[in-house]
Chain A
Amino acid sequence: MEKELLLACRDVSLGYEGKPIWEHLDFEVRAGDYLCVVGENGSGKSTLLKSLLGLLKPLSGHIELFMPRSAVGYLPQQTRAQKDFPATVYEVVLSGFLNARKLRFYYSGAEKSAALMNMGKLGILELKNKCYRELSGGQQQRVLLSRALCAARKLLILDEPVTGLDPAAAQDLYKTLQYLNETEHMAIIMVTHDMPSALQYGSSILHAGNHHWFYGSVADFLASESGKRFGGDRT
């Protein structure tokens, strides 16, 4: 039986002001997939991300999302303003339940316990009442990941999650994502610069080059033209 289809790009062209950066893009994400989007700066990774999140309309083609938009968990890059933001970890995580659906004054009991559970999964429960700005980079990233989990049912979209983390914290985060992917069956789309880890943890690769792209499993990618350059240091 084939796994449930979560998201599909069908012959999609993306770009700004009529100038395409991606052309005829075709790929799909199914339940339990771990797709890493890699490529140099300026190759259109963030353009793709915006489109997947529904913030940018494709020039042509269709991006189909087989779930409500609010059921996608998103981990954005940290902004400068957040670094000294006065908010407790709990406040930040709970805000993951907010979306366009309705106006509300309070969070329900179910949401509160789900938030606590997500914090427990990521090992930040004891930080609940800590101030966000006093945490380390790795801890902050876990807080934001817990927030994303509050929204996510089946799919997580991550934007450069390890940028700015020290190597140990980055490895911790990868292990956590692996756990979410394998044990919780959360599909993951991760935009990343970290090619070795993408090859190590990902199940498939979307590589952005200049006006050509590659999509396939990690093994196929290593065998491909663009992948051979990266395969050398992995034996």
Chain B
Amino acid sequence: MKLLMEMFTYPFILRAFIVGILVSLCAALLGVSLVLKRYSMIGDGLSHVSFGALAIALACGWAPLQFSIPLVIVAAFFLLRIAENSRINADAAIAVTSASALAIGILVTSRTTGMTTDVDSYMFGSILAMNGDDVILSVVLSIAVLLLFILFYHKIFAITFDENFSRATGMKVGVYNSLLSVLTALTIVLGMRMMGAMLISSLIIFPALSAMRLRKSFRGVVIFAGVLSVICFCVGLAGSYLLSTPVGATVVVVNLAVFLLFSLLSRLRLFRK
């Protein structure tokens, strides 16, 4: 316990907590919609694009977030378009995009800086990644994501449940899909430096999946996923401090444990509300 209290005396851990809680909340909310729309892999694709962008920014000495955010938003639009136009195989396109972005990122780093600790932290996340400016930017953007999500909650429900119906009643489905992909892109860029490019997409998928085991209303799933995601993140971060393990991997393992537990509970038909 004393060790846990001591943890909060480090400013970098405090920063990690603030950003992590906001990002995991955003990721969980968006994740419910993405998982239900069968877009789970988009998060994975975007995080790899984001890795490529960060590697380029690092090589050229540009500000990492300011450079990668627009690039990842463009990629999000692109991937969503593919998912909508069923003419191309969406999962294949996402796999190709993410592998290519990763490859470009690795090429750029190997020709310039080499595999430094910076690059390693982009891949697998680092608790030290956040400086003061990043925290402010992350907080502002996460709050924007949360506000937009709350503002458009009913519309997001409608297009998630039934795009055809929404379109027929005159809703601009394309606009809301784009909104969803921009918000997802932002969340991923913000979260990936702590969680790592390889692991950030789990933050989107796991809470939604776990919440769906036990809740049966959309609102219930959204709220439960948000709460669950924040708790898992906090436990994961504390665990990573106590055990000296990488924070991203620890958070993912906590999420996995919760998911397995909830799957078991729903099998046993306990808690089913």
Residues of A within 8 A of B (CB): 53-55, 69-70, 72, 74, 76-77, 79, 81-82, 85-88, 91-92, 95-96, 98-100, 103-105, 107, 129-131, 133-134, 144, 147-148, 151, 157
Q: What residues of chain B lie closer than 8 Å to A151, measured between beta carbons?
A: 169
Q: Which of B37, B155, B170 has the most chain A CB atoms closer than 10 A to its own CB? A: B170
CB closest chain-B residue, reference A100: B170
Interface residue from B154, B170, B212 paired with A104 (Cβ < 8 Å): B154
Q: Is the CB of A92 within 8 A of B161?
A: yes
Interface size, B (range):
20 to 34
Q: What residues of chain A lie closer than 8 Å to B216, measured between beta carbons?
A: 86-88, 130-131, 133-134
Q: Is the CB of A98 within 8 A of B168?
A: no
Asked if B165 is an interface residue, CB under 8 A from chain A, the answer is: yes
CA distance A79 to B165 in the complex (A): 11
Interface residue from A87, A98, A144 paired with B166 (Cβ < 8 Å): A98
Interface residues of B in 219-248 (CB under 8 A from A): 219-221
A-B contact list, 5 entries, CB within 8 Å: A74-B165, A86-B212, A86-B218, A86-B221, A98-B158
Contact with A along B241-271 (1 / 0, CB 8 A): 0000000000000000000000000000000
CA distance A107 to B219 in the complex (A): 14
Q: Is the CB of A87 within 8 A of B170?
A: no
Q: What residues of chain B lie closer than 8 Å to A85, measured between beta carbons?
A: 36, 161, 218
Residues of B within 8 A of A (CB): 36-38, 150-155, 157-158, 161-172, 212, 215-221
User: What 4 A-B pairs have minimum CB-CB distances, sorted nearest first?
Assistant: A131-B216, A100-B170, A87-B218, A76-B164
CA distance A69 to B169 in the complex (A): 7
Q: What residues of chain B lie closer than 8 Å to A133, measured between beta carbons?
A: 216
CB closest chain-B residue, reference A91: B218
Besides A95-B158, A100-B172, A151-B169, 4 more A-B contacts (Cβ < 8 Å) are A81-B36, A82-B162, A87-B218, A105-B151
Q: Nearest Cβ distance between residue B174 and chain A, in whole angstroms?
A: 12
CB closest chain-B residue, reference A88: B217
Q: What residues of chain B lie closer than 8 Å to A54, measured between beta carbons?
A: 168, 170
CB closest chain-B residue, reference A80: B38
With A81-B37, A99-B170, A100-B170 known as contacts, the answer to whether A147 contacts B212 (CB < 8 A) is: no
Q: Is the CB of B37 within 8 A of A100?
A: no
Q: Which of B169, B215, B221 has the most chain A CB atoms closer than 10 A to its own CB? A: B169
CA distance A82 to B157 in the complex (A): 12
Q: Which of B36, B154, B221 has the most chain A CB atoms closer than 10 A to its own CB? A: B154
Q: Nearest Cβ distance between residue A234 and chain B, in whole angstroms?
A: 33
- B interface SS class: helix
Q: Nearest Cβ distance between residue B92 and chain A, in whole angstroms?
A: 19
Q: What residues of chain A lie closer than 8 Å to B221, measured between beta carbons?
A: 86
CA distance A147 to B158 in the complex (A): 11
Q: Nearest Cβ distance between residue A138 and chain B, in whole angstroms?
A: 18
CA distance A108 to B153 in the complex (A): 15
Q: Is the CB of B164 within 8 A of A98?
A: no
With A86-B215, A87-B157 known as contacts, the answer to whether A81 contacts B38 (CB < 8 A) is: yes
Interface residue from B38, B151, B168, B172 paired with A74 (Cβ < 8 Å): B168
Q: Is the CB of B151 within 8 A of A100?
A: no
Q: Is the CB of B151 within 8 A of A91?
A: no
Q: Is the CB of B154 within 8 A of A98?
A: yes
With A86-B215, A87-B217, A87-B218 known as contacts, the answer to whether A98 contacts B161 (CB < 8 A) is: no
Interface residue from A70, A74, A131 paired with B217 (Cβ < 8 Å): A131
Q: Is the CB of B151 within 8 A of A103?
A: yes
CB closest chain-A residue, reference B216: A131
Q: Is the CB of B218 within 8 A of A88?
A: yes
Q: Is the CB of A79 within 8 A of B169?
A: no
Q: What residues of chain B lie closer than 8 Å to A131, measured between beta carbons?
A: 216-217
Q: Which of B157, B217, B221 has the most chain A CB atoms closer than 10 A to its own CB? A: B217
Q: Is the CB of B215 within 8 A of A91?
A: no
With A70-B170, A86-B216, A86-B221 known as contacts, the answer to whether A98 contacts B155 (CB < 8 A) is: yes
